[in-house]
Amino acid sequence: MTIAATWNTADTLWVLLGAALVLFMTPGLALFYGGMVRSKNVLSIMMNSFIAISVITVLFVAVGGSLIFDTDLGGGLLGGLHLAGLSGLSQALPGLSWVAADPMAVMVFQMMFAIITAALISGGTADRIKFPAFVALIIFWFLLVYVPLAHWVFSPNGWLAHLGVLDFAGGTVVEINSGFSTLAVVLVLGKRRGWPGEAMAPHSVPLSLLGAGILWFGWFGFNAGSSLGVNHVAVVAFTNTQLAAATGLLGWVIFEKFKEKYPTTLGAASGAVAGMVAITPCAGFVSPLAALGIGLAAGLLCAVAVRVKFRFRYDDSLDVLGVHGVGGLLGMVTLGLLATKSVNPAGGEGLLVGGGLHLFSVELLAAVVTAVFAFTVTYLIAKTLDLTMGLRVSQEDEYTGLDLSEHAESAYSHGGSGRIG
Amino acid sequence: MKLIVAVVKPFVVAKVKQALHEAGVLGMTVSEAHGYGRQGGHTEVYRGGEYEVDFVPKARIEIMVSDERTDELVSLIVETARTGNIGDGKVWVLPLATTVRVRTGERGVDAL
């Protein structure tokens, strides 16, 4: 193997730094989710995030990364296997010859996106999915849902990318995908016993706030890193991330204050996340002023969206659809409206910027295709797993809590009793 | 001997302890308790989901006293713990068969 010395060191460093930041989002998500479940299920949901790190890493290296980024096999549907095992990375990834960062850094960076997207699903399945079933679910989901979608959008050879779809950091592949995949799983899985009548209040909101803070921090890598180089677009994406998070928080809290009288801390954390979800596809394509508006709209809209489940009675326990699905859709729509080449010449011009209908319509198409594809295929996977290995824990285990039933642990031990044996 | 049990608002515990200490009561047991009376519970809101919390946090104070001081100390606790608002709690008194100080083996009033 010859080591190519042509890669730009600063760009490579930027992408590696981004990869580390995005990885850190997954333990952050574990805390964010962990605080929102009851104390008997906190380890179980955190374990779902941690196991996703390992499982998706192995799958991505083995075949996933190659199927996403290798030369297209035809029709823009799937890549080949020349990059399996992270081999063949001495030259630029197909279609990404403009990227000056080391291709292996780009692959590792992209690996982290797949990890957190898989982990996001656990927010819907909380409190009732068998641990082995969750592992099986994310294995099949990664290969059959995430990999094709990522090829379609993230690889320049994908069919959606070919149509001119813009998605800076994964409004489709990460956000809409996780939201609608989660909806499919929870429809197969069913509601938690007792929901929505019984109180299932968060056991530690401070834990969720810390998690939200880590997500916020990591999101700079997620969005700004997606420029794949140290340049003005990276700076814009970084700035827009902060702006949308800030106004997302405001939007959610304002909604609560006027709708329910009390602005809540969990609402503040959720609003910041919603703002960053919506800005994800837009980060490197819209102006800072637009980012402020997109964040605010996301905070308001997602605060409404998380209430929908009570009306339609699907138990998306921690609102993956309401925050990531809806926030992602909003991001894609606003990108079609507000993208401007004055920020990024490689981007596009939205409907309201005088770019005409083209960008708006392909953004809408990509959003709908992602939602429908993710929902349909994930539903089939979940149904198959439910009929074969079974998705749910027993009634007794659900009552006892998954920390004990799935992992033989308790999160909060008061010490003293028991002995080794 | 009597056992005085008082279930009061948690924030008055320090005040009650101080008052009892000044009245010469040399020990007490305090535990966290949850319950409801006429006050009922309260509502919490998380992401638009409203949760009725039926049991309100309270502090449970237990002291052992001699028969002759019982009424005086009950009154002291009641006056100290009272805020005048709903949810101030309750005080009750039980007869106490015996007490033993573990260190010395003393029994009865000597062990108070």
For residue A239, count CB atoms less than 10 angstroms from its CB and return exposed for 0-12, middle for 13-18, buried for 19 or more: middle
Tens digit of pLDDT for each residue in B37-87? Answer: 887 788 888 888 888 888 888 999 999 999 999 999 999 999 999 999 888
Q: Which of residues 240-269 of A touch B (CB under 8 A)?
A: 256, 260, 262, 264, 266-267
Q: How many CB atoms lie within 10 A of CB B11?
A: 10
The answer to whether A358 and A165 have CB atoms below 8 angstroms apart is: no
Sorted by where each begins, the domain ranges of chain A are 3-407
pLDDT, mean of residues B18-46: 90
Query: Chain B within 8 Å of A306 (Cβ-Cβ)?
Result: yes
| 3-class secondary-structure state, position A20 | helix
Cβ burial A390-417 (10 Å sphere, 16+ → b, else e):
ebbbeeeebeebbbebbeeeebeeeeee
In A, which residues are within 8 Å of B47 by CB distance?
264, 266-267, 270, 306-307, 319
Taking domain A3-407, whether its CATH number is 1.10.599.10 is answered by no
pLDDT at B54: 84
pLDDT at A3: 55
pLDDT at A15: 98
Tokens of B70: 């019982």
In B, which residues are within 8 Å of A36 by CB distance?
46
Distance CA A407, CA A68 (A): 34
Cβ burial A26-54 (10 Å sphere, 16+ → b, else e):
bbbbbbbbbbbbbebbbbbbbbbbebbbe
Q: In whole angstroms, how far apart are CA A177 and each of A44, A172, A273?
A: 23, 6, 16
Query: Chain B within 8 Å of A310 (Cβ-Cβ)?
Result: yes
Query: pLDDT tens digits, chain A, 421 residues: what are they?
Result: 455 558 999 999 999 999 999 999 999 999 999 999 999 999 999 999 999 999 999 999 999 999 999 999 999 999 999 999 999 999 999 999 999 999 999 999 999 999 999 999 999 999 999 999 999 999 999 999 999 999 999 999 999 999 999 999 999 999 999 999 999 999 999 999 999 888 799 999 999 999 999 999 999 999 999 999 999 999 999 999 999 999 999 999 999 999 988 999 999 999 999 999 999 999 999 999 999 999 999 999 999 999 999 999 999 999 999 999 999 999 999 999 999 999 999 999 999 999 999 999 999 999 999 999 999 999 999 999 999 999 999 999 999 999 999 999 999 986 655 677 6
Nearest to A132 by CA among A48, A27, A26: A48
Distance CA A196, CA A398 (A): 15
pLDDT at A106: 98
Which residues touch A114 (CB under 8 Å, ≥6 apart)?
Answer: A56, A60, A64, A142, A146, A150
Residue with tokens 């938690």: A192
Tokens of A269: 């954390």
B43: closest chain A residue by CA: A199
Candidate from A196, A262, A267 with C-beta closest to B47: A267
Candidate from B44, B48, B53 with C-beta closest to A306: B48
Tokens of A326: 């809806």
Three-state SS annotation for A223-247: HHHHHCCCCHHHHHHHHHHHHHHHH
B46–A260 C-beta distance less than 8 A? no
Nearest chain B Cα distance for residue A371, angstroms = 24
Distance CA A389, CA B23 (A): 67
A36–B46 C-beta distance less than 8 A? yes
Candidate from A199, A307, A310 with C-beta closest to B52: A199
B48–A303 C-beta distance less than 8 A? yes
Q: How many CB atoms lie within 10 A of CB A141?
A: 26
Nearest to A341 by CA among A350, A333, A328: A350
